[in-house]
Chain A
Amino acid sequence: MLTIPRDLHDKIVAHARADHPDEACGVLAGPAGRDRPERFIAMLNAERSPTFYRFDSAEQFRVWREMDERDEEPIVIYHSHTATGAYPSRTDISYASEPQAHYVLVSTRDDEQAEFRSFRIVDGEVTEEPVTVVE
Chain B
Amino acid sequence: MAIEVRIPTILRTYTDGAKQVEGAGSTLDELITDLEQRHGGLRDRLVDGGGLRRFVNVYLNDEDVRFLAGLETPVKDGDTVTVLPAVAGGDR
A residues lining the B interface (CB < 8 Å): 23, 25, 43, 47, 49-55, 57-58, 60-61, 64, 77, 79, 81-84, 88-92, 95-100
Contact = CB atoms under 8 A, between A and B. Distances in A.
Interface string B10-36: 100000000000000000000000000
A23 to B, nearest CB: 7
Interface string B41-78: 00000000000000101010010101000000000000
B84 interface: yes
Nearest to B64: A57
- Point out which of B55, B66, B91 has the most chain A C-beta atoms below 10 A from its C-beta: B91
- Point out which of A43, A47, A51, A61 has the most chain B C-beta atoms below 10 A from its C-beta: A61
B92 A89 contact: yes
A51 B89 CA distance: 9
Contact of B90 (A51, A58, A96): A51
B89 A89 contact: yes
B56 to A, nearest CB: 9
B87 interface: yes
Interface residues of B, number: 19
A60 B87 contact: yes
A64 B84 contact: yes
A99 B9 contact: yes
A95 B86 contact: yes
Contact of A60 (B9, B10, B84, B89): B84
A54 B90 CA distance: 9
Contact of A97 (B8, B59, B92): B8
9 contacts: A43-B87, A53-B89, A57-B66, A57-B84, A64-B84, A79-B89, A84-B91, A97-B8, A98-B87
A88 B64 contact: no
Contacts of A99: 9-10
Nearest to A85: B91
Contacts of A89: 89-92
Contacts of B91: 23, 50-52, 81-84, 89, 91
Contacts of A61: 57, 59, 62, 64, 82, 84
A28 B45 CA distance: 27
